[in-house]
Amino acid sequence: MSITQVAYGRAVSITLSLVVLVSTGCSISRPLPSTPTHCSIESASTYHTYDLRVPQSKYVYVLVDKSYGYQYTNNDLGLVQSIVVGNIGPGDRLVVAWMSLERTTGSIFFDEQIEQIKPPRFSPTLTPPAMTSTLTPGGPTTIKGMQIQTSEAIERNNDASEEQHNCLIGQWNIESDQLYLEWQTRQQGAVDEFVDKGHHQIPLLASEEVESGKLVYESLSVASRMLRSSIGKNSYAKYLLIVFSDLDDWRDRKPDGTTIDFRGIGVMVISQPCKYEVDCGVKATWEQQLASFGASQPEFLVQEDNIPRQLDSCLRFPSPHLPCTQEENPS
């Protein structure tokens, strides 16, 4: 064998060894896309987030005075329609009853609850693709016409994978937005249906519909039984009794055999005939009695207290100082 053939053989051997070494060191776990990835939808690098919090449910029981000597029944019903009904949310229950001569639940003329639609369940989020590390600078790029993957090629491959992943995130966002919108629409439909019922089933009274008197203690007892029955089932997080009346009764104490238990129930008494508390003395007469029935810090509102604003605030923005925000409801 000539010296030229030996030299040529060694050169071929070295070249093949280098090709094997470089090819092995540059291999990647996925093929390089032959063409760039193009997303037909709006891609995204982050997932949309949604507020799926469900507010604490409440049970609101409203007593409305319609006795002959009480001249503010329609004013009270107007507040029930405009403020109370408007502040009943998903999962809440509203009962409206007359404070009259009725001693049973027959005094109830409105009892509705807003259905709480289950929040949507979104698809799991996607695992980000693994990115291939780039080659160290200065590595060979070609050997005898064979293309060796360079850092630029790896980056193109990583960019294509990221673009594809972002496209999938965009698709996830579109599908999740649709689920969220459908949930909101159904929930708003349930609220709208409730409000419509409230406006039609809580009408203003004609003058001939008033009654000759009222049984205050018996009306409070019926409300107490209804609310406590629900408390025993742990059906709601908060319980509130709103009484629209001057609470005028010829008796100065609860009749024997009448049970009134307001433990864990917020009590608010709204006396629209009274401009100031001293005009009617409702608080002075009833605060101690309501406390003896278990009511914790009952609220008394008269005209000077800006009744609409206070009532709306109590129902819309609960705070520990208002009766609609009792933290515990002992059974």
Looking up residue 219, the CATH number of its domain turns out to be 3.40.50
In whole numbers, what is the pLDDT of the chain averaged over residues? 81
What is the model's pLDDT at position 40?
Answer: 84
Q: Is residue 157 part of a domain?
A: no
Q: Is residue 17 part of a domain?
A: no
Residue 294: HSE in the Cβ half-sphere, 13 Å Cα cutoff = 17
Q: Is residue 193 part of a domain?
A: yes
Q: Are 198 and 68 in contact (CB under 8 A)?
A: no
What is the model's pLDDT at position 135?
Answer: 59
What is the model's pLDDT at position 9?
Answer: 45
Query: Average pLDDT, stretch 125-137?
Result: 77
Q: Is residue 218 part of a domain?
A: yes
Domains contained in the chain, number: 1
pLDDT one-digit tens code per residue, 19-30: 333 333 333 334
Q: Is residue 143 part of a domain?
A: no
What is the model's pLDDT at position 25?
Answer: 39
Task: Give the highest mean pLDDT range of 69-73, 142-146, 162-166, 183-187.
Answer: 183-187
Label residue 327 by pLDDT band (50, 70, 90). very low
| pLDDT(277) > 90 | no
What is the model's pLDDT at position 20?
Answer: 33
**DSSP β-bridge partners for residue 63:** 97, 243
Residue 31: HSE in the Cβ half-sphere, 13 Å Cα cutoff = 4
Least confident interval from 17-31, 93-107, 147-161, 314-328: 17-31
Instruction: Output DSSP code: residue 112.
Output: E
Q: Are 92 and 190 in contact (CB under 8 A)?
A: no
Q: Is residue 1 part of a domain?
A: no
| pLDDT(129) > 50 | yes
Q: Are 293 and 322 in contact (CB under 8 A)?
A: no
Q: Is residue 165 part of a domain?
A: no
CA distance 6 to 283: 116
| pLDDT(130) > 70 | yes
Q: Is residue 97 part of a domain?
A: yes
pTM over cut 0.75: yes
| Domain containing residue 79 | 58-118+189-325
CA distance 71 to 137: 91
